[in-house]
Structure 1
């Protein structure tokens, strides 16, 4: 589903990502972990097309996407969330979801005046899809609530819903559990597992090791912008290289 090969990204001579390579298999949940400053979010930005890489290659479903803009990569089936949710605060929850589908007829002024039946039919379909997404996330009771009024955890769920409205095959989740209370954390974990059951592929950055250990099929560890090691959650938990990276010990 995703292949990263020898990727390098520098900022003013500092290598934030250094010859990074890894693969993500289809229909899996993979955790991308590492100490603060390891280059995880920079890697996400490169994969999603928000940053241009300096060297290396990125493939999405065997298609090279190095030079593609973010919108084009999104249309190939990739969606992402952000560590700080980016919902439109002055719009309702359902409106935030209905805004996502690409190429809506109502965005064209001509259609708004002369193809109103087409626009109305399309908006009805978008509403139904958005409501089904809220049912999946168990947020239907907040359908008409302004996004600004949601709790931190609810905003994370809405962010996930916005990603789902794009019908992605690969979903990048940037710290979905950050700042979330235990109850909503469990709900987020359940939803991620349900996404896999629906055939989706998930790559997530997360510092909550309980979440990583409980839901991931594989864990990839980064340190200082480099690939360090990968394995099952159990293997990573007891790997001495990983412990050294997190504790700041120097390898012999």
Structure 2
């Protein structure tokens, strides 16, 4: 699947809110396959809610969202899980599963009921454990992991799911700089080499500039702008949306904007 195909997701005038409180209002955009999208915005701007709408975890109050031309709400859970893998912000598991068990959960949509994992499933799980540098943790209980280790387990589960679409909500939360860069490099490589689509909420604007193809910026529940990194990431945008002063310059080696904050 390449970025030259038709739209992957079409978000058409979507709004969402809790009772009388709007969270998102009138969001419209098209997302295409084979791209790395960074979803940006201040806290409370609606980033996680938009991901929930794209995954079918929430339904728009108004408007519609389609995936491959079909409303997301029209997919059954198993069919959607074979297309879209999700990395939430935290691991909500209260049972004493091992790391290996949790990563293997990413293969469940592809394993027939009452069947054992096939060799392909085992291979994908082992590859994901290795990519996330958690192979040595695979027999440890997830209840006894650090926050950063749990986050890497969640990403490994999504990688093992091996879907054409990967949605991540703050995938580098709780991670040190080494594992943050490792995950961003892996996501970038998979987009470039395999043509998957990645949509990730990212707080670090410099990381988003370096690794993403396009940026989606939310502000006060509305779509502030959406476009290529080079046209979106500007000092005025950072000032207006994030209330911060920054110098945005082009990295000649990478050919991408870089963000340097002004602290005084």
Match of residue 136 from structure 2: 141
Q: Deviations over 1:137-174 (max 9, x none)?
A: 23222222222233322222211121123221111110
Match of residue 180 from structure 1: 175
Map residues 34-45 of structure 1 onto 2, 5 A cutoff: 34-45=41-52
SS of equivalent to 2:59: coil
Q: 1:6 aligns with which of 13, 18, 40?
A: 13
**Cα separation, 1, equivalents of 2:145 and 2:222:** 37
Query: How large is the RMSD of aligned CA atoms in angstroms?
Result: 2.3
Q: Is the 8 A contact 1:8 1:19 kept in 2?
A: yes
Deviation at 1:7, TM superposition (A): 0.3
Q: Tell me whether 1:82 sits opposite 2:88 in the alignment.
A: yes
SS of equivalent to 1:130: helix
Q: Is the 8 A contact 2:81 2:109 kept in 1?
A: no
Q: Tell me whether 1:169 sits opposite 2:164 in the alignment.
A: yes
Q: Tell me whether 1:50 sits opposite 2:46 in the alignment.
A: no
Q: 1:31 aligns with which of 19, 35, 38?
A: 38
Q: Structure 2, unaligned stretches of length 5 or more? A: 1-7, 245-264
Tell me which protein shows more strand as a share of its residues: 2
Q: Is the 8 A contact 2:55 2:72 kept in 1?
A: no
Map residues 202-217 of structure 1 onto 2, 5 A cutoff: 202-217=198-213
Match of residue 128 from structure 1: 123
Q: Is the 8 A contact 1:50 1:70 kept in 2?
A: no
**Cα separation, 2, equivalents of 1:89 and 1:234:** 45
Q: Deviations over 1:92-124 (max 9, x none)?
A: 11111223322645x53xxxxxxxxxx45x455
Change (3 A) 1:165 1:227: same
**Cα separation, 2, equivalents of 1:63 and 1:6:** 16
Match of residue 257 from structure 2: none
Change (3 A) 1:205 1:30: same
**Cα separation, 2, equivalents of 1:86 and 1:157:** 14
Deviation at 1:125, TM superposition (A): 4.3
Q: Structure 1, unaligned stretches of length 5 or more? A: 109-118
Q: Is the 8 A contact 1:48 1:74 kept in 2?
A: no
Deviation at 1:34, TM superposition (A): 0.8
Question: What TM-score comes out, normalization by structure 1 length?
Answer: 0.84
Relative contact order (C-alpha < 8 Å, sep 6+): which is higher?
Answer: 1
Q: Is the 8 A contact 2:16 2:23 kept in 1?
A: yes
Change (3 A) 1:131 1:88: farther
Deviation at 1:20, TM superposition (A): 0.4
Q: Number of aligned residue pairs: give it.
A: 236
SS of equivalent to 1:168: coil
